[in-house]
């Protein structure tokens, strides 16, 4: 009887250890992604003139009437500032335009044009359905080799990890210009998103769409609707 009791205890202990490891694993992966990319984040004032092929702006939500959400507007403002400072000759707006009724990238381009950026300097990636796909397509469709990625800080670690895993020479600028509603939720969700993209970077699946190349060294008007 005592042997059976000890055996049950060992089984319960082993199960508890496995469950604990499974619970901690996402946080371990998330921590690794952050630690391995923190030195790739630069201050916008330190961006050197002509240092990048393009500034990659990752998409975020848009509101009715073609207005960028607060997060997206801050990404655009920081990216436009880096462009005006000479960091790169082109902006690459990458976001979700998979449905006619929802269009992030034209909102992003219109915002940049209204801020004084010439249309030919603004590329649109209409199939940037995820962080991984945006960066994959920046490399294989737009033929970018050295990029400055702009997004909020919590998201930037993952974007830079993907970029490095895909062989891009990348740095990033955080676009945290205000406190965002729901930030605690975004940060928690990002732990799982880092795990997902960590796995994606191991297997490197193709994005939803590739298509013909549109070199970012050319005219952004080639990506207009």
Checking if the pLDDT of 55 tops 90, the result is yes
Q: What is the DSSP letter of 64?
A: T
Checking if the pLDDT of 137 tops 90, the result is yes
Q: What's the pLDDT score for residue 101?
A: 79
Nearest to 63 by CA among 108, 32, 129: 108
Q: What percent of the chain has pLDDT over 90?
A: 79
- Distance from C-alpha of 114 to C-alpha of 110, rounded to nearest angstrom: 6
* Higher per-residue pLDDT: 173 or 1: 173
Mean pLDDT of 97-120: 93
Q: Which class for 186: exposed (0-12), middle (13-18), buried (19 or more C-beta within 10 A)?
A: middle
Checking if the pLDDT of 127 tops 80, the result is yes
Please check whether residue 102 is in contact with residue 69, taking contact to mean a CB–CB distance below 8 angstroms.
no
Q: What's the pLDDT score for residue 49?
A: 78
Q: What percent of the chain has pLDDT over 70?
A: 91
**pLDDT tens-place string over residues 110-124:** 999 999 999 999 999
Q: For the chain, which domains are there?
A: 8-223 (3.40.50.620)
């Amino acid at each position: 009887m005592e042997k059976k009791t000890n055996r049950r205890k060992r089984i319960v202990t082993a199960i508890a250890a496995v469950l604990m490891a499974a619970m901690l694993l996402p946080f371990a992966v998330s921590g690794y992604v952050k630690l391995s990319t923190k030195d790739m984040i630069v201050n916008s004032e330190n961006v050197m003139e002509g240092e990048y092929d393009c500034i990659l702006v990752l998409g975020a939500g848009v509101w009715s009437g073609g207005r960028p959400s607060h997060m997206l507007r801050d990404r655009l403002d920081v990216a436009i500032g880096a462009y005006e400072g000479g960091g790169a000759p082109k902006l690459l707006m990458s976001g979700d335009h998979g449905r006619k009724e929802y269009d992030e990238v034209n909102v992003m381009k219109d915002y940049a044009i209204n801020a004084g950026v010439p249309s030919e300097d603004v590329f649109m990636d209409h199939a940037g359905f995820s962080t991984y796909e945006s960066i994959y397509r920046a490399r294989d469709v737009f033929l970018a080799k050295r990029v400055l990625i702009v997004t909020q800080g919590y998201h930037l670690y993952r974007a830079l990890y993907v970029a490095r895993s895909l062989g891009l020479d990348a740095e990033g600028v955080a676009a945290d210009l205000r406190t965002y509603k729901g930030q605690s939720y975004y940060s928690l969700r990002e732990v799982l998103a880092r795990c997902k993209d960590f796995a994606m970077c191991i297997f490197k699946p193709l994005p939803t769409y590739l298509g013909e190349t549109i070199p970012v060294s050319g005219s952004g008007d080639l990506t207009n609707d």
